Structure 1
């Protein structure tokens, strides 16, 4: 059996790609060699427990939101980068990441999306104020669907 030699610089580059793209993991294979680099998943209670939790007060404001077609064109629209289930709080019984009217910094977590048992943080693309929350807690979301408006 041949000795597996680790290219630590290559692993560092993969880790940097994870950070830059906000992916959860990268796996590469070449012949019988395989490397997988993964970021720790956000620890969150089971989705069934989240659905049973009372929605945060901000969720009530989503009913007044305009149709998603209009909102998707808004310059402050934060859209879903994946298909999954959106959660507005880190776990049941905890406060929401953000509420309408909150000031947010660029890179601040706005919500999480569970996709294939991995919880992915959705971060503010810019600093601003949360003007609208367009999804409810534990709501299924589609790729490109508007989630929030940050102005």
Structure 2
């Protein structure tokens, strides 16, 4: 087989792989073809796609707006009707995740949780731990208040910016 013929068949093969990639909605495909001793073709076809991040947060329960919610920052100037009350991330008392990782509600398996619903916390109290890259990161309370809702599960995954709990 001539080099030109081999080259043309390789191009056809790569185009077929690209079509497989698109048709099956894959992001990467790698194939190695052996033609003989010291003669092979190693092909990796990939495409970039817009990643859609989906967080696994329990279904939100309706939140009744608190008439005297103690909060700070610009969220207090936004009327309650303009906020999406179904989304805990929009709640003015939401504590969000500063990183991607795994949530741990206690210092050790079976141990007492750092925080429970109804508990009073002071600014700086540890609410939970997020393990990221084998490092245990203590997540402190950003303000004093009462824990109204816990939105994550022990040993569950969490994404950056996902709501962890509500403190009012």
Give your verdict on TM over 0.5. Answer: yes
> C-alpha separation between the residues in 1 aligned to 2:156 and 2:58?
13
Q: Are residues 1:99 and 2:123 paired?
A: no
Q: Runs of 5+ in structure 2 lacking a partner? A: 1-56, 63-84
User: Which residue matches 2:133?
Assistant: 116
Structure with greater contact order relative to length (CA < 8 Å, sep ≥ 6)? 1
Specify whether residues 140 and 63 from structure 1 end up closer, same or farther in structure 2 by C-alpha distance, changes over 3 A only: closer
SS in 1 for 2:143: coil
The 8 Å contact of residues 58 and 152 in structure 2, kept in 1 or not, is answered as: no
> C-alpha separation between the residues in 2 aligned to 1:99 and 1:126?
16
Using the TM superposition, give the Cα deviation of residue 93 of structure 1 relative to its aligned residue in structure 2, in angstroms.
1.6
The 8 Å contact of residues 81 and 143 in structure 1, kept in 2 or not, is answered as: yes
* 1:103-139 Cα distance to aligned partner (Å, 9 max, x none): 0000000000000000001110000000000000000
Q: Runs of 5+ in structure 1 lacking a partner? A: 1-61
SS in 1 for 2:98: coil
Q: Which has the larger radius of gyration?
A: 2
The 8 Å contact of residues 129 and 150 in structure 1, kept in 2 or not, is answered as: yes
- Provide the aligned length of Structure 1 versus Structure 2: 90
Q: Scaled by the length of structure 2, what TM-score is found?
A: 0.50
Q: Scaled by the length of structure 1, what TM-score is found?
A: 0.56
> C-alpha separation between the residues in 2 aligned to 1:140 and 1:127?
26
RMSD: 2.1
Q: Where in structure 1 do 4 or more consecutive aligned residues deviate above 6 Å? A: none
